Structure 1
Amino acid sequence: MKSEIYQTIVVKVGTTTLVHDNGKLNIAGMEKLVRVISDIKNSGKNVVLVSSGAVGTGAGRLGIKGKGDIKIKQALAAVGQGILMQFYEKLFLEYGINVAQILLTRDDLEKGVRRENALNTFTTLFEFDVVPIVNENDTVAVEEIVFGDNDTLAAVVAELISADLLVLLSDVDGLYTMPPHEPGAEKISYVKEITPEIEAIAEGSYSGFGTGGMQSKIKAAKIATEAGIAMAIIDGENPAEIYNIVDGKGCAGTFFEPKKQTSFSEKNAI
């Protein structure tokens, strides 16, 4: 696909890409990501960054290792979110890009006035040439910390704003036929339809401080593609790969074909 097809892009980055194993921020990784997003934004496109990492960053700052109970995770998220935004604002300003923080819960994205208000906020920020940086409001969203993930959040945001492309940056550079470290594992470069077989392949993955594994990414792909949004899973250490996807030069990770959206006239054709 050509660049002009992808005008509104959602990029999701996970904890394992943003935070080192010791809980400290991966500054070099953040700089690479911000540079790519800023460049794409400057080309005239709307870009939303969905960023995990608040809990992991908070844990690193406070010297807490491993996972605690819900109250501890909420406190770590409160500490870490501010640190993340401070770094993001500093890095984006180097490229003349303004950013805004949007913290959401499931309730904000359900049908009704709150969903409409969220959409209006994104729309207005796009008009102001601002890059929204989104995260789940972990300090109050108890269920998200236990069961949820930002892959799903990114897909729901992409659906909300009628995005054209969703890119998930991962510590695994795509979907494999089996865990990629096992002999015989092969990358699946293109998925036309998410079948039960594809879902079965995704089972069993896990990441340290983060909550999202490959299962959550396939769930996100289902949400996105059913809404007519293309999705890709790529290596989080190489965000420049987003250029190739946007420019229609292919995807080094796994590309999920969006379902064709039926127009009103097609639905009502006799």
Structure 2
Amino acid sequence: MAGVRQAVREARRIVVKVGSSSLTTASGGLDADRVDALVDVLAKVRTTDPAPAPPSAEAAAPRSGGEREIVLVSSGAIAAGLAPLGLRRRPRDLARQQAAASVGQGLLVARYTASFARYGIRVGQVLLTSDDMSRRAHHRNASRTLDKLLAMGALPVVNENDTVATDEIRFGDNDRLAALVAHLVRADLLVLLSDVDGVYDGDPSRPGTSRVAEVRGPADLAQVEIGSAGKAGVGTGGMATKVEAARIAAAAGIPVVLTSAVHAADALTGQDTGTYFHPTGKRSADRLLWLQHASAPQGSLTLDDGAVRAVVDRRTSLLPAGIAAVEGEFSAGDPVELRDGAGRAVARGLVNFDAKEIPRLIGRSTRELARDLGPAYEREVVHRDDLVILNG
């Protein structure tokens, strides 16, 4: 075990995600002592130099020496807004969830701002939705904002924009968001904190179960039953969403520690706590990772066999001639699924036309469309730079 957490000790840029249950009471409202305890740990880690990497180690994102950089992905906005609005439990309807988030987000950031101020650390709020991250221009803006905040010495506090989100409000309690943010900022480490101190090979409350200390690949969890509920009842993400987030980050080359908030200090100093997920893949294009894991398809395009081979095997753009059918209501720039003749999703991409325009494009060449409809129609339906393969 001596060298297992070396990547933790060497990490310079760290994304830390904390769940609602670790910040609030079961009845709603922020627990100031819990927030301060987390901030105490993060402030100390931030001013601690990372361990030097071995000379042969290849850094994922070389940065100059000095203190560590931390991005905090924090749940808790909806939970923090429950008590002030007189709500006894998390509401099920979207409108009241959004109202609670509107009230709670201000309280959450104010609490972080005051707590980090004890250490002279400035806080910057960043609210994101998956739609922001799958669109090229929005993705660049988010990346630049986070990089600039870090460069100026601020600590970004990221949350989903729950006041306007719809499907995103059930996104997995920010676990998946944290994995994608880790990739977006080229983090060296992701730490997922909740009220459970790791993955167990059974129900942690039952005798005889043991903690899974390391995960090197899917086979290590093949026989493990992953739970789906937190103890406090104020969040939405259970262990399943955390494990999935860890897999996303690990597949993107980022090591992950999954543990409880009370063990945050040990987790961030490389101690044997929680479950450590070894990197299983290499980094890929940021925006395509968001497109694959964070976007909600607004419709689908069915491809003929030739187009499926061209898109999946040759990684080409999707042209109108290869489309057999269209479903759904979407606008240009929305994510759509690309399906084969059997209805299986083979790819996902950002479409260049509105759904109502597609029927008159089906099966026609771009040259023919340009001649009949104008030069604006001589383009791809989905460009290969805006496309990610799902099964291939």
Give your verdict on TM over 0.5.
yes
| Contact 2:226–2:240 under 8 Å retained in 1 | yes
Give the counterpart of 2:160 among 111, 136, 139: 136
Question: 1:234 is aligned with what amino acid?
Answer: T
Answer with 83-92 or 40-49: which moved more: 40-49
Looking at both structures, which has the greater relative contact order when contacts are Cα pairs under 8 Å and sequence separation is at least 6?
1
SS in 2 for 1:133: strand
Amino acid at match of 1:156: L
Identify the residue that residue 76 of structure 2 maps to in structure 1: 53
Partner residue in 2 for 1:77: 101
> CA 1:214/1:28 → structure 2, altered by over 3 Å: closer, same or farther?
same
Q: What corresponds to 2:269 in structure 1?
A: 244
Q: Which of the numbers 131, 136, 141 marks the counterpart of 1:112?
A: 136
CA distance in 2, matches of 1:199, 1:119: 38
Q: 1:154 aligns with which of 160, 165, 178?
A: 178
Amino acid in structure 2 at the alignment position of 1:183: P
> 2:81 is matched by which residue type in structure 1?
G
Give the equivalent residue in structure 2 for 1:266: none
Deviations 1:206-260 (A, max 9, x none): 4512111000011101110011000011111232123422xxxx33111100125
Aligned residue identity for 1:39:
K
Partner letter of residue 118 of structure 2?
E
Q: CA deviation at 1:136?
A: 0.3
In structure 1, the partner of 2:237 is 212
Distance 2:135 2:243 in 1: 24
Deviates more, 1:195-204 or 1:208-217: 195-204
Q: Which runs of 5+ in 1 are unaligned?
A: 264-270
Decide which moves more: 202-211 or 101-110.
202-211
Name the SS of the counterpart of 1:175 in structure 2.
coil
Alpha-carbon distance, 1:262 to partner:
8.1
2:280 is matched with: 259
Deviates more, 1:146-155 or 1:202-211: 202-211
Distance (Å, rounded) in 1 between the aligned partners of 2:70 and 2:130: 21
Q: Secondary structure at the match of 1:210?
A: coil
Question: Does 2:53 match 1:32?
Answer: no
Cα distance change, pair 200–185 in 1 and its aligned pair in 2 (3 A): closer
Moved over 6 A (4+): none
Amino acid at match of 1:172: V
Q: Secondary structure at the match of 2:163?
A: coil
Shift of 1:204: 3.6
Q: For 1:22 and 1:148, how far apart are their aligned partners in 2? A: 21
Letter in 1 for 2:47: N
- Alpha-carbon deviations, 1:87-139, whole Å to 9, x = none? 10001011010010000000111151111110001111111011000000001
TM-score by length of 2: 0.63
Counterpart-to-counterpart distance in 2, 1:21 and 1:205: 14
Instruction: Supply the distance in 2 between the matched residues of 1:200 and 1:37 (Cα, whole angstroms).
Output: 31
2-structure distance, mates of 1:177, 1:3 = 24
Task: Report the secondary structure of 2:264's partner residue.
Answer: coil
Q: Which moved more, 1:149-158 or 1:38-47?
A: 38-47
Give the 3 Å change call, closer, same or farther, for CA 168–145 of structure 1 in structure 2: same
Equivalent residue of 1:259, what SS?
coil
Distance 1:73 1:227 in 2: 32
TM-score by length of 1: 0.90
Contact 1:32 1:239 in 2 (8 A): no
1:173-192 correspondence runs (5 A): 173-192=197-216
How far did residue 149 of structure 1 move?
Answer: 2.3
Aligned equivalent of 1:87: 111
Judge conservation of contact 1:167–1:232 (CA < 8 Å) in 2: yes
1:16 pairs with 2:24: no
* Aligned mate of 1:62, from 85, 100, 104: 85
Question: Structure 1: how far apart are the matches of 2:176 and 2:223?
Answer: 15
In structure 2, the CA distance between the partners of 1:220 and 1:25, relative to structure 1 (3 Å rule), is same
Report the more deviating stretch, 85-94 or 196-205: 196-205
1:165 is aligned to 189
Unaligned runs of 5+ in 2: 1-5, 49-66, 285-392
Q: Distance in 2 between matches of 1:231 and 1:110?
A: 23
Q: Distance in 1 between matches of 2:8 and 2:171?
A: 35
Question: For the residues of structure 1 that align with 2:94 and 2:138, how far apart are their CA atoms?
Answer: 26
Residues 243 and 4 (structure 1 numbering): CA distance in 2 closer, same or farther, change over 3 Å? closer
Q: 1:103·1:137 contact (CA, 8 Å) conserved in 2?
A: yes
Counterpart selection for 1:99 from 96, 106, 123 = 123
Q: Closer, same or farther in 2 for the Cα pair 1:154/1:3, shift >3 Å? A: closer
User: Structure 2: which amino acid aligns with 1:59?
Assistant: L
CA distance, structure 1, for counterparts of residue 210 and residue 9 of structure 2: 31
Count of aligned residue pairs for this structure pair:
259
